[in-house]
Amino acid sequence: METISVIIPVYNAEKYLERCIDSVLAQDYSNLEIILINDGSSDNSGRICDVYQSKDSRIRVIHKKNGGAASARNCGLEIASGEYIGFVDSDDWITEDMYKYLVELLEDTQSDVAAIRCVLADKPMYVKQKEVTYQCFDGNEIIHDFLFQGACSSVGSYSLCCNLFKKSLFTGLRLPEGKIGEDIAIQYEILQRASRMVKSNKAGYFYFQGEQSVSVGGLKQNYADLLEAYEQLYVFALDSGIVENVYLAEVIRKRASFSILAKIAYYGIVDTCLDRKRIIAEHTKILRSKYSFLMRSPIALNRKLMISVLCIHFNLLRWPLAVYRFLVNK
C-alpha cells in the first residue's frame, strides 16, 4: 500500500483544526503521513498539533515562523516521504473514504492526478449524491479542462486540496511564497506535467470560507497578486500555442475585473492606501470594453447578469448587495 503524505498548513485555526485533523485520521486508507505545519500561530493551534502528534505516530508537526500558506506547503513538500501528495486546509474537512477512493481511481485509470468534487459548506453536512461517475483527461485535455473550470468559476477550480498527486509531479517545483492565489499558476505547471488526470463528481472535500479565506473580506493591497497569477496563466497559455487555451485564459484574466468590483461592492476596501475611485473606474472600463467577449464566454449566467449591471453603474450592484449583507448578518 502506497503512502499518502497529507500536508496541512496551520495558522490560527484553533476553532476548526480538530475537525480537520479528525477527518483525516478517520480515513479508510490508513497508510498516511500527516504533516502539520504550524505557521507561526499566535493562538492554541500549535499546542493542538502537538497533542495530536503525541497520540498518533502518523502525525509529524513542524513549528515555523509565519510565512504564509505557500511557505507552509513548501515546508511540507520538503519533508514528505509518501508516493502521493495531498493537501487539506486547516479549516476544511474531508469524507472518510476520500483518499481510498482517489488512490483507487489513480491505480484503476493509471493517472498521475485524481480529483474529487469540492463542496462549499460551513458545517458537516450530508450531500445527496447522484450516480458517481468519473472522466479521464489526457495530455492537453487536462489543461483545457483546468482553464474551462476556472473560466466558469467552479467551486475549488484552483484549489490543490481537491486533488491527489503523484509526488514526482512536484520535482523541482514549489509554490510561489509571499503571495495570495499561489495555487493558480503552480497548478497549471503541475498539470502540464501529468500524462493523465481523472476527475470524479463524488463529493469528498468540504471547503469552509472562514475569516482568513482570500474570497472573504474587503479588498486588500495584495489583490494585485491574483491579477498577476491570472496574467501568468495567460502567458502559459500563449506559450502553449493552443488557441482554445489562450481564449479561456483570456476569459479568466478579464473576469478578474468582475471579481474585484463584486468584492468591493459586497465587502468594501480594507486597505485605505487603495484608491477606491480609480480601481472601480479602471475595472469597470475593462468590463465594458470586453462586454461582448464575456457574454459569449462560458462564465456562469448569474455572473453575466452581475457584469451587465456593473457595466451600467457600480452602485446598481452595490446597493442590493449591501441590503443582502445586512439581512444575512442581522
Q: Is residue 82 scored above 90 in pLDDT?
A: yes
Buried/exposed code over 47-76 (b: 16+ C-beta within 10 A; e: otherwise): ebbeebeeeeebbbbbeeeebbbbbbbbbb
Instruction: Tell me the pLDDT band of 1, cut-offs 50, 70 and 90.
Output: confident
Closest CA to 190 of 101, 113, 79, 105: 113
Per-residue pLDDT tens over the stretch 30-65: 999 999 999 999 999 999 999 999 999 999 999 999
How much is the pLDDT for 217? 77
Closest CA to 255 of 137, 154, 110, 112: 154
Domain map (residue ranges) of the chain: 4-207, 223-329
DSSP class per residue in 259-275:
HHHHHHHHH-BS-TTS-
How much is the pLDDT for 77? 98
The domain made up of 4-207 has a fold known as Spore Coat Polysaccharide Biosynthesis Protein SpsA; Chain A (3.90.550)
Q: Is residue 330 scored above 60 in pLDDT?
A: no
Give dist(CA 27, CA 98) in Å, integer: 7
222-230, long-range: CB < 8 A, 24+ apart = 222/179, 222/180, 223/260, 223/263, 225/179, 225/180, 225/181, 226/180, 226/181, 226/184, 226/256, 226/259, 227/256, 228/179, 228/181, 229/179, 229/181, 229/182, 229/184, 229/185, 230/181, 230/184, 230/256
Give dist(CA 325, CA 319) in Å, integer: 10
Per-residue pLDDT tens over the stretch 140-186: 999 999 999 989 876 556 689 999 999 999 999 999 898 888 788 89
Mean confidence (pLDDT) of the chain: 92
Class of residue 323 by CB neighbours under 10 A (exposed 0-12, middle 13-18, buried 19+): exposed
- Cα distances (angstroms) measured from residue 316 to each of 96, 228, 319, 325: 45, 28, 6, 15
How much is the pLDDT for 182? 78
Instruction: Tell me the pLDDT band of 109, cut-offs 50, 70 and 90.
Output: very high
Phi first, then psi, for residue 108 (nearest 5°) are -70, -35
3-class secondary-structure state, position 33: strand
- How many CA within 13 A on the CB side of residue 44? 8
Point out the least confidently predicted range of 246-255, 262-271, 285-294: 262-271
Give dist(CA 277, CA 286) in Å, integer: 14
- Residue the block writes with cell 475595472: 283
Give dist(CA 285, CA 53) in Å, integer: 53
